[in-house]
Amino acid sequence: MTSLNIIKEIEEITSIVILMPGVQYPRVTLDVARQLSGERVCYVTLNKTFRSIDALFSKNNIRARNFFFIDAISKSFTESAPEENRCQLITPGSLTEMSLVINEVLKAGFDYIIFDSVTNLLVYQKQTDVLRFIIDLVNKTKQTQTKMIMYAVQEEEALLRKICVAVDKCITIEGTGI
């Protein structure tokens, strides 16, 4: 099974969506993180807490020293803030708050933003609002040096088709890998 070369795929563009079946999701997300482990990355997580990602990366020998996490999960059930120099908690489902925080991230000049994942936004928001949010995010990213990588599990086909039109490139991971 060949790996996706994310740095090469996004080299000449600013935004990319990686569509994948659920079964490939763990492998692909770890693979991308490993490839970007030496870069300055902002990791926006909507389905794993910061601490679980930290544990997962450690377990898989991914040293993400220059990763900063925006954790849109932990506030669902905990008040205790994790390491503030590595993570910021935001209110689950708040596109406004997410947008504000990502604006700050874009000003800070990260090399990459990983958005994990578009599919999880739909738990909290209507499709139209998610689409508007994504398009806005993609347009803002174009004005910076930061590159945007978005993950999407292959559900909600209609929405994903529209998002694929909004970004520079859409890569589909097949069930057996690419």
Partner 1 sequence: MNETILIADDIADIRTTVRAVLEKEGYRVIEAATADEALKKARTANPKLIVMDIMMPGTPVGEIVKQIKNIPIIYLSAVRVSDTEKKELKQNGIADFIEKPFDIRELVQSVKKHLP
Burial class (CB in 10 A: 0-12, 13-18, 19+), 28: buried
Residue among 49, 117, 141, 146 that touches partner 1 (CB under 8 A): 49
CB of 77 to partner 1, least distance (A): 4
In whole angstroms, give the CA distance from residue 137 to residue 58. 30
177 binds partner 1 (CB under 8 A): no
Interacting residue with partner 1 among 124, 140, 162, 164 (CB under 8 A): 124
User: Could you say which residues in the range 64-83 bind partner 1, by CB under 8 A?
Assistant: 73-80
Q: Which is nearer to partner 1, 78 or 128 (CB)?
A: 78
Alpha-carbon span 38 to 35, nearest angstrom: 8
Query: Could you tell me if 150 and 16 are in contact, meaning their C-beta atoms sit under 8 angstroms apart?
Result: yes
Q: Is 169 in the site for partner 1 (CB under 8 A)?
A: no
Q: Tell me which residue has tokens 């993609």.
A: 138
Q: Which residues bind partner 1 (CB under 8 A)?
A: 47-49, 51-56, 73-80, 91-93, 120, 123-124
